[in-house]
Amino acid sequence: MSTLSIDHVSRWFGNVVAVNDITMTIGPGVTGLLGPNGAGKSTLINMMGGFLAPSTGTVTLDGQPVWGNEQIYRHIGIVPEREAMYDFLTGREFVLANAELHGLGEKEAQRALATVEMEYAQDRKVATYSKGMRQRVKMASALVHEPSLLLLDEPFNGMDPRQRMQLMDLLRRMGDEGRTVLFSSHILEEVEQLASHIEVIVAGRHAASGDFRRIRRLMTDRPHRYLVRSSDDRALAAALIADPSTAGIEVDVTEGALHIQAVDFGRFTALLPRVARDHGIRLLTVSPSDESLESVFSYLVAA
Amino acid sequence: MYDPTVARLTYRGLLGRRRAVILGALPVLLIVISLAVRGFSGADDQVAADVLGGFALATMVPVIGVIAGTGAIGPEIDDGSVVYLLSKPVKRPAIIFTKLIVAIAVTMVFSAVPTLVAGLILNGNGQQVAVAYTVAALVASIAYAAVFLFLGTVTRHAVVFGLVYALVWEALFGSLVEGARTLSVQQWALAVAQKVAGGDLVTSDVGLPTAVILLAAVTAGATWYAGQKLRRLTLAGEE
């Protein structure tokens, strides 16, 4: 069990601040590092992996500094975003070389290849591999020493849905085994499907932290959208708009539904059923239309 | 300090098909020239010294040094695959040291060995010319490999800078500007060769003690600095 602590870390390149005073703790399980492209995710992952010195602040793994400490790699496995990986080797030779650099050998390399189910292609040159196969061999090279912390930079980039699912299963398994797994992504569905914990980075800042629902709740001061179908949409709309908890209601004639924008989450959720009952209106559908990570994210980005 | 796995990866990267062809081309050219010269003008000590000094040591050795030295690390840093070496509990100076050994060995094999063969073809090692230039090539291999390995850690354009140094600085400026000759790996190596040959066929503008000190200093300095550079190497950047 390992805990990665990022303590008031900033990193700037010349005048550009890529990471701005971020503090977070990554514990066992799968954590998603979410943010749009250029938010500073790669810079942060590079600092977590000891490939970049923080301009200020510290990154430590169980109290050990990560920067300038090659012994830390006994506990860290890294899956870089970049493709290049000694293409002139076969998959087996590549993983074996990685094992040897850890002071391990054939046995561990073979086990890692089995974990990612790449034994069938292990004697082919890496140059002949598809994107998904490369990704799996990269995973094997990162797992060969059974690290307690696994860092993956945009691991799902360019993978097809089947490969994506396989990798997600594997990462979930790693998290369940008690490893600390952190992956970055700018794709919301990926993070939503896989991560039990989410850290959101926007424009170099730590925008939110927690599980998906918690992050959503942090957003309660933001308008929430609901799709409501009822026995009398117009009457319901008229009654709801009178209350300050709603900011706008659209009567969607083609859909036969109301699009309601609520500004006071708590008050609105109490108001809606009461108003419906008082006016003798039956509620047929009440669904939050933006409970997806996408909308949470766009709020955060806009903030 | 020497890591066999790093060495294996470096050898296989260096001796990959394309690079091996380039590495092999110049030695083949040297042998062909030597055979032609010997065929046309017979064995002549002065001609032998001219060919070995003018082509082998002045051009072939530095160019091979550039290819082997920068090729031992530059491409890995360039494409990011060096991350697989750096994310291991292996000391970074050990990575540099190993790569230096490999670069030196490759440079020696592809430059000193053909120099000896060419020398034997040209005049059968008369007046120790072949051996003297082979020693010079061996000595120069060490310094070139170190300098160009270091270049490979500091710039993406190591090959260009390396060739500019090897061809423009050593060959051109060296013959025009007095001071440039003192700061030339080729001249230092020649100083050692001069000692071996004994006669006046092989001469250097630099005294032997100066040459040896400068060779050692440049090799050690470049290696140390490359190690430091790798310790601080960052693979980051928002791309």
Cβ separation A70–B92 shorter than 8 A: yes
Write out the residue limits of the CATH 3.30.70.100 domain(s) in chain A: 224-302
**pTM, rounded to two decimals:** 0.82
Cβ separation A53–B12 shorter than 8 A: no
pLDDT, one tens digit per residue, over B83-127 is 999 999 999 889 999 999 999 999 999 999 999 999 999 888 888
Cβ separation A51–B236 shorter than 8 A: yes
A39 has a pLDDT exceeding 90: no
Q: Which value, to the nearest 10 degrees, does the dihedral of the CA atoms of residues A267, A269, A274, A277 take? A: 160
Cβ separation A70–B6 shorter than 8 A: no
B23 part of a folded domain: yes
Interface of B with A (CB under 8 A): 3-6, 8-9, 12-13, 16, 79-81, 83-92, 231-239
- In eight-state DSSP terms, residue A281 is P
Closest alpha carbon to B57 in B14, B116, B122, B15: B116
User: How far apart, in Å, are the Cα atoms of B80 and each of A44, A85, A110, B73, B74?
Assistant: 17, 8, 25, 11, 10
What is the pLDDT at residue B157?
87
Give chain B positions within 8 Å (CB) of A86. Answer: 9, 12-13, 81, 84
Do strands A205-210 and A64-65 pair parallel, antiparallel, or not at all (unpaired)?
Answer: unpaired
pLDDT, one tens digit per residue, over A120-166 is 999 999 999 988 889 999 999 999 999 999 999 999 887 888 888 88
Write out the residue limits of the CATH 3.40.50.300 domain(s) in chain A: 4-217
Cα-flanking dihedrals φ and ψ of residue B210, to 5°?
-60, -45
pLDDT, one tens digit per residue, over A211-253 is 877 766 665 556 778 889 999 888 999 989 988 888 889 998 8
Cβ separation A51–B8 shorter than 8 A: no
B236 part of a folded domain: no
User: A4-217 has which fold?
Assistant: Rossmann fold (3.40.50)
Q: Report ipTM for this prediction.
A: 0.87
d(Cα B100, Cα B105) in Å, to the nearest integer? Answer: 8
- B11, B87, B96, B231: best to mutate for the A interface, most A CBs within 10 A: B87
B238 part of a folded domain: no
d(Cα B205, Cα B183) in Å, to the nearest integer? Answer: 10
Q: Are B158 and B152 in contact (CB under 8 A)?
A: yes
Cβ separation A97–B8 shorter than 8 A: yes
Closest alpha carbon to A221 in A245, A195, A194, A197: A245
Cβ separation A101–B90 shorter than 8 A: yes
- In eight-state DSSP terms, residue A282 is P
Per DSSP, the three-state class of A276 is helix
B21 part of a folded domain: yes
B237 has a pLDDT exceeding 50: no
A93 has a pLDDT exceeding 70: yes
State the total domains in chain B. 1
Backbone dihedral region of A49: left (phi > 0), alpha (psi from -120 to 50 degrees) or beta? Answer: alpha
Residue identified by tokens 């928002």 is B238
Tokens of A191: 């993070």
Q: How many CB pairs under 8 A join A and B?
A: 89
Vertex A243: Cα angle to A239 and A244 (nearest 5): 155
B174 part of a folded domain: yes
CA distance B70 to chain A (A): 16
Give CATH for domain A224-302.
3.30.70.100
Tell me whether A53 touches chain B (CB under 8 Å): yes
Tokens of A28: 């066992």
pLDDT, one tens digit per residue, over A8-28 is 999 998 888 999 999 999 999
What is the pLDDT at residue A295?
60
Which domain range does residue B186 map to? 4-231
Nearest Cα residue in chain A from B17: A88
d(Cα A206, Cα A221) in Å, to the nearest integer? Answer: 18
What percent helix, strand, coil does chain B show, rounded to 5?
80, 0, 20
